[in-house]
Structure 1
Amino acid sequence: MKAIVLSDSHKNFNSIRRAIEKEPDINLIIHAGDVQRDVDDILDAWPELPCEFVLGNNDFNVFNVPTQRVFVFGGKKIFLTHGHLYGVRHSTFRLVQEAKKHHADICIFGHTHLPLLTEQDGIQILNPGSSWQSYGIIEITDGKVKICLKENQ
């Protein structure tokens, strides 16, 4: 199972298209907010692929979309949020505490536009950065998780 992780596209659908076209064998698209309706374009362009997404701090007049969600992919529980509600510009502490409440294996966030891949308290933490510059890949095979960051140039 392979997922592409994007965030902070801010109406730049070309950056999303470029990233997804580099990864033809994905099973899931994940967007961590500041979508600005790019998700509508994602769903139109790749209707065969499921898409998990949340609202960011710049997603105005978008309704019925949560600011965070928990879902399972490849047998692993993922906590997805934009991050602005958890003060991620200063620290990931509150974010990790929330992910732990949900018993998440992986925590995905955006907001800072800076890519980050680390582990805290047994939870793998991924910020793919701004889709204009980078994205993340999560591969899960036989219960083993491999996460990487890639440039989107």
Structure 2
Amino acid sequence: MRIVVLADTHMPKKAKVLPAELIQNLEESDQILHLGDWQSLDLFDELQKFAPVDGVAGNVDSEDVISRLGYQKILTFNDFRFGLVHGHQGKGPTTEDRARNTFRDEQLDAILFGHSHIPVLKERHNITLFNPGSPTDKRRQSHFSFGIIDLSTTTTICFQHIFF
């Protein structure tokens, strides 16, 4: 199973169309997860043309995005549990801390978050923390980015960033 992970697309403010590098991977995906700052549900509808879509709302999202997706959720794929959150709410001095604290009482394999636009892949307290960065608003980063999660079996997760 291949999951494309996005965050902080800020469409249509930061981009009018999805980048070609992203589209190529969306066409090969089995699932798409977006970690907030969509801005509107138009992007949700566009992404559904490629694969099933789920995600959470972020701090700049419209009320319709918030009411449809909420700010946090836990999803299971191939027996792996993923916590999804944008990372702008809660307690903690950093986005990573806020994301981790959102799920502090949960048994998860990974926490997927956005908000900072900074790609992250690290282990913390036996949980993978993964921020895909942004495919449309790199801010101070050298490259645009998004994430791929490959679940080849019920025992193997492979996380990677795609930089362009």
TM range (shorter): 0.7 to 0.9
Alignment counterpart, residue 138 of structure 1, candidates 128, 136, 149: 149
Taking structure 1 as the reference length, the TM-score comes to 0.87
| Identity, % of aligned positions | 28
Amino acid at match of 2:17: N
What are the equivalent positions in structure 2 for 1:1-153 lying under 5 Å apart? 1-11=1-11, 12=15, 14-15=17-18, 18-22=21-25, 24-37=27-40, 38-43=43-48, 45-46=49-50, 49-62=51-64, 63-86=67-90, 90=94, 92-132=96-136, 133-142=144-153, 143-151=155-163, 153=164
Q: What is the DSSP-based 3-state SS (H/G/I as helix, E as strand, rest coil) of the residue aligned with 1:39?
A: helix
Q: Structure 2-normalised TM-score?
A: 0.81
Asked whether the equivalents of residues 112 and 129 of structure 2 are also in contact (C-alpha less than 8 Å), the reply is: yes
Match of 1:4, SS? strand
Q: Which runs of 5+ in 1 are unaligned?
A: none
Cα deviation for residue 139 of structure 1 reads 0.8
Instruction: State the distance in 2 between where 1:42 and 1:126 align.
Output: 21
Question: For the Cα contact (< 8 Å) 1:89–1:112, is it kept in 2?
Answer: no
Structure 1 runs of 4+ aligned residues shifted over 6 Å read none
The 1:50–1:139 alpha-carbon spacing in structure 2 relative to 1, beyond 3 Å, is: same
Secondary structure of the structure 2 residue equivalent to 1:9: coil
Give me the whole-angstrom Cα distance separating, in 2, the residues matched to 1:88 and 1:112.
14
Q: What are the ranges of 5 or more consecutive residues in structure 2 without an aligned counterpart?
A: 137-143
Aligned length: 149
Query: Matches of 2:146 and 2:99 in 1, distance apart?
Result: 20
The superposition leaves residues 78-117 of structure 1 with CA deviations (integer Å, 9 ceiling, x where unpaired) of 0001000136772523422333422111100000011111
Code of the aligned partner of 1:128:
P
